[in-house]
Structure 1
Amino acid sequence: MSKVEISYEDQKTNSISRPRYGCSIGAMYSASAIPGVVPIVHCGPGCADKQYTNLAFYNGFQGGGYGGGAVPPSVNASEKEVVFGGNERLEELIQASIKVIDADLFVVLTGCISDLVGDDVPSVVTKFQEKGVPIVYAETGGFKGNNYTGHELVTKAIIDQYVGDYEGQKKKNVVNVWTELPYQNPFWRGDLSEIKRVLEGIGLKVNILFGHDSKGIKEWNEIPKAQFNLVLSTWLGLQTAEHLEKKYDQPFLHIPAIPIGAKATSEFLRKVSDFAGVDSKKTEKFIQKEEKHYYKYLEDFSDFYAEYWWGVPSKFAVLGESSYNLALTKFLVNQLGLIPVKQIITENPPEEYKDSIRKEFANIAEDVSVIPLFLEDGYLVEQALLNSEEKPAIILGTTWDRDAAKQLGGNIVEIGFPSSYEVVLSRANVGYKGALSLLEKIFTIAISASA
Structure 2
Amino acid sequence: MAVTKNEHGQTNSINQVRYGCAVGALYSVVSIPGAVPIGHCGPGCMDKQYTSLAFYNGFQGSGYSGGSVSPSVNAGEKEVVFGGEKRLDELIKSTLKIIEGDLFVVLNGCIGELVGDDVGAVVSKYQKQGVPIVYAETGGFKGNNFVGHEIITTAIIDQYVDKFTLNKDHREKGLINVWSELPYQNTFWRGDLSELKRILEGAGFRVNILFGGKSAGVEEWKTIPHAQFNLVVSPWLGLKTAKHLEQKYNQPYLHIPVLPIGAQQTAAFIRQVVEYAGIDPATAESFIEQEEKEYYYYLEHFNDFYAEYWWGLPATYAVVGDSTYNLALNKFLVNQLGLIPRRQIITDNTPEKYREAIAQEYQKLAHDVATTVDFVEDGYIVGKLLRETDFGHKPPIIFGTTWERDTAKALKGNIVEVGFPASYEVVLNKSYIGYRGALQLIEKIFTVAISASA
Match of 1:278 in 2: 279
Alignment of 1:52-91 (within 5 A): 52-91=50-89
- Structure 2 matches for 1:219-258, cutoff 5 A? 219-258=220-259
Q: CA RMSD in A?
A: 1.1
Q: Which amino acid aligns with 2:38?
A: I
Identity %: 64
Per-residue deviation at 1:14? 2.9
Write the deviation string for residues 308-351 of structure 1: whole angstroms up to 9, x where unpaired. 26701110100000110000011000001100000000001111
Aligned pairs for 1:318-329 within 5 A: 318-329=319-330
Q: Which of 129, 132, 153 is matched with 1:131 structurally? A: 129
* Residue-by-residue CA offset, 1:269-319 (whole Å, 9 max, x unaligned): 000010111211111111001001000101111111122267011101000
4+ long deviations beyond 3 Å? 7-10
Whole-angstrom distance in 1 between the partners of 2:7 and 2:399 = 20
Aligned position for 1:105: 103
Structure 1, unaligned runs of 5 or more: 1-6
In 2, Cα distance between equivalents of 1:305 and 1:174? 41
Moved more, 218-227 or 305-314: 305-314
Within the alignment, does 1:442 sit opposite 2:442 as a pair?
A: no
Q: Report the CA distance between 1:9 and its aligned residue.
A: 3.9
Inter-partner Cα distance in structure 2 for 1:359 and 1:309 = 31
Q: Deviations 1:230-288 (Å, cap 9, x if unpaired)?
A: 00000000000000011111110000000000000000000001011121111111100
The number of residues matched between the two structures is: 445
Matched-pair contact (CA < 8 Å) for 1:8–1:384: no
Structure-2-length-normalised TM-score: 0.97
Report the alpha carbon displacement of residue 12 of structure 1 after superposing the two structures with TM. Answer: 4.0
TM-score by length of 1: 0.97
Distance 1:121 1:308 in 2: 61
Structure 2: distance between partners of 1:172 and 1:99: 40
Tell me what 1:413 maps to: 416
Counting only pairs closer than 5 Å after superposition, residues 47-446 of structure 1 correspond to structure 2 as: 47-164=45-162, 165=165, 166-308=167-309, 311-390=312-391, 393-446=396-449
Q: Which residue pairs with 2:14 in the alignment?
A: 16
- Aligned-pair CA distance for 1:69: 1.1
Question: Helix, strand or coil: the match of 1:83?
Answer: helix
Moved more, 300-309 or 123-132: 300-309
Stretch deviating more after TM superposition (67-76 or 163-172): 163-172
SS across alignment from 1:154? helix
Q: Which consecutive unaligned segments of at least 5 residues does structure 2 have?
A: none
Distance 2:8 2:357 in 1: 19
CA-CA distance at 1:389 after TM superposition: 2.6
C-alpha deviations, 1:357-407, integer Å up to 9, x for none? 011111111111111000001111111111113356110000000000000
Amino acid at match of 1:409: K
CA contact (8 A) 2:233 2:257 kept: yes
1:438 corresponds to which letter in structure 2? L
Aligned CA distance change for structure 1 residues 144 and 443 (closer, same or farther; 3 Å): same
1:228 aligned partner, one-letter code:
F
Whole-Å separation in 2 of the counterparts to 1:173 and 1:188: 24
Is the partner of 2:312 in helix, strand or coil? Answer: coil
State how far apart, in whole Å, the 2-side matches of 1:67 and 1:269 are.
Answer: 34
Higher mean displacement: 33-42 or 388-397:
388-397
| 1:116 aligned partner, one-letter code | L
Counterparts of 1:61 and 1:8, CA distance in 2: 34
Q: Which deviates further from its counterpart, 281-290 or 402-411?
A: 281-290
User: In structure 1, what is the Cα distance between the partners aligned to 2:173 and 2:295?
Assistant: 30
Task: Give the 3-state SS of the residue equivalent to 2:52 in structure 1.
Answer: helix
Alignment check: 8 A CA contact 1:310 1:447 kept: no
* Conservation of the 8 A alpha-carbon contact between 2:317 and 2:391: no
- TM-superposed CA distance for 1:154, in Å, is 0.1
Answer yes or no: is the 8 Å Cα contact 1:8–1:380 preserved in 2: no
Cα contact 1:261–1:435 (8 A) shared by 2: yes
Q: Is the 8 A contact 1:310 1:450 kept in 2?
A: no
